[in-house]
């Protein structure tokens, strides 16, 4: 316990120092540093590199080794820039625009979904720089709550939640958050959920993701089916000029009986397929270092 307290203390002050230094740099220079750190991590984080490479090879068996190598390099540069972006989010004050241009595609879909007055499920993934949504969506005038896990370091968790909440985005703890999700939707708020993470098998349904079985939570699907709540797939990706594209897709109304496990699985697979399709358009910008396919039996080969 004491060791954890010491580690949390050191992590917290290391973060404060890094935050102060990064925010002294112009954005372009800070991003260049992030890409350099990403390339450096290719040499230093062998376990993560091997995991990402294995995931990429399995997801894209048709790609050659040089192509996988290029994707791996671009991915770690993306991770480095994402770390810089997180540090620079603290610069933004309520109502301030994001530091770069955000091209919004499909805002009419949000208006259509909110017009149903049932709340909106904002379906997204760890793709691009998703945290921009927690700042930009409320600035557009849409009430947003985000479902996420608390950080293990309580000091850093407080900082992160303060950064999100000062722009109007409320936090819902992923653990035991179903009631708060339902309550927020009843208030005609939008609830953001990243559905591309591993879920505990005892609480999950089995789906295929990049042609490999994995576990996904069916809670989002169940709530949407039971209450007729529109699901709006939304993804934020970074452009080559380090601006952002916020793509809002047409709302979905999931049909079927929410008490039927097979219907739950089919609809959860539908949402998973939408996420996979978005990742295929921006391969290096997904979180390939995540153990998405854990707790599954090894592939036959």
pLDDT digits (tens, 9 = 90+) for 45-57: 999 999 999 999 9
Residue 296 domain flag: no
Claim to verify: residue 256 and residue 108 sit in the same structural domain? yes
Question: Domain check: are 131 and 261 in the same one?
Answer: yes
300 domain-assigned: no
What percent of the chain is predicted at pLDDT more than 70? Answer: 96
Residues 147 and 273 occupy one common structural domain: yes
Q: So what's the pLDDT on residue 150?
A: 86
Does the CA dihedral 96-80-238-114 come out positive or negative? negative
Residue 299 has what pLDDT? Answer: 47
In this model, does residue 300 exceed pLDDT 50?
no
Residue pLDDT, tens place only, 133-190: 888 898 889 999 998 888 889 899 888 888 888 878 888 888 777 889 999 999 999 9
Specify the range with the lowest mean pLDDT, choosing from 5-19, 114-128, 268-282. Answer: 5-19
Segment 47-73 shows an average pLDDT of 97
Contact (CB, 8 A) for 258 and 225: yes
Q: Rg of the chain over CA atoms, in angstroms?
A: 19
- Based on the structure, what is the number of domains in the chain? 2
pTM of the entire predicted model: 0.92
Residue 61 phi, psi dihedral angles, 5° rounding: -65, -20
Gap between the Cα atoms of 24 and 27, Å rounded: 9
Last residue within a domain, chosen from 91, 125, 158: 91
Same domain, 61 and 104: no
User: Which structural domain, as residue segments, surrounds residue 211?
Assistant: 98-287
Crossing angle of helices 178-186 and 219-227, in 10° steps, is 30
Whole-number Å distance between alpha carbons of 30 and 18: 11
Average pLDDT value for residue range 285-293: 96
* 297 within domain boundaries: no
| ∠ CA 132-56-34, rounded to 5° | 40
Q: How confident is the model at residue 296 (pLDDT cuts 50, 70, 90)?
A: low
- Whether 125 and 57 share a structural domain: no
Same domain, 56 and 133: no
Across all residues in the chain, what is the average pLDDT? 92
**What's the pLDDT score for residue 2?**
54
What does the alpha-carbon distance between residue 196 and residue 286 come to, in Å, rounded to a whole number? 10
- Indicate whether 294 pLDDT > 50: yes
Mean pLDDT of 276-300: 86
- The pLDDT tens digits for 34-44 are 999 999 999 99
Are residues 120 and 60 part of one domain? no
Identify whether 295 is part of a domain.
no
Q: Is residue 292 part of a domain?
A: no
Would you state the structure tokens that stand for residue 248, as one six-digit string? 């809002």
CA 70 to chain centre: 23
**Beta-strand pair 244-248/231-238:** antiparallel
Has residue 218 been placed in a domain? yes
Q: In this structure, are 39 and 124 located in the same domain? A: no
């Amino acid at each position: 316990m004491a060791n954890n307290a010491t580690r949390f203390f050191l992590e917290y002050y290391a973060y404060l120092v890094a935050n102060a230094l990064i925010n002294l740099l112009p954005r372009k220079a800070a991003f260049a540093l992030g890409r350099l750190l990403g390339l450096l991590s290719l040499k230093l984080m062998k376990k993560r590199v091997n995991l990402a490479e294995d995931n990429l090879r399995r997801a894209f068996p048709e790609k050659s080794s040089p192509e996988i190598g290029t994707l791996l390099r671009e991915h770690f540069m993306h991770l480095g820039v994402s770390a810089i972006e997180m540090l620079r989010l603290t610069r933004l004050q309520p109502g301030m625009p994001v530091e770069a241009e955000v091209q919004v595609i499909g805002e009419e879909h949000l208006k259509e979904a909110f017009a149903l007055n049932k709340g909106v499920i904002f379906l997204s993934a760890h793709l691009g720089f998703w945290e921009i949504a927690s700042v930009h969506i409320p600035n557009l005038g849409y009430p947003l709550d985000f479902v996420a896990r608390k950080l293990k370091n309580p000091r850093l968790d407080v900082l992160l939640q303060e950064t999100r909440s000062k722009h109007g985005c409320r936090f819902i703890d992923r653990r035991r958050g179903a009631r708060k999700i339902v309550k927020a939707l009843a208030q005609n708020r939008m609830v953001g959920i990243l559905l591309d993470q591993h879920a505990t098998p005892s609480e999950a349904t089995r789906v295929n993701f990049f042609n490999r079985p994995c576990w996904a939570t069916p809670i989002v699907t169940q709530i949407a089916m039971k209450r007729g709540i529109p699901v709006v797939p939304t993804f934020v990706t970074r452009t080559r000029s380090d601006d952002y594209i916020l793509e809002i897709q047409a709302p979905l109304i999931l049909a079927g009986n929410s008490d039927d496990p097979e219907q739950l699985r089919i609809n959860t697979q539908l949402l998973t397929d939408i996420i996979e399709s978005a990742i295929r358009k921006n391969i290096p910008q997904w979180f390939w270092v995540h153990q998405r396919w854990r707790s599954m039996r090894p592939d036959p080969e």
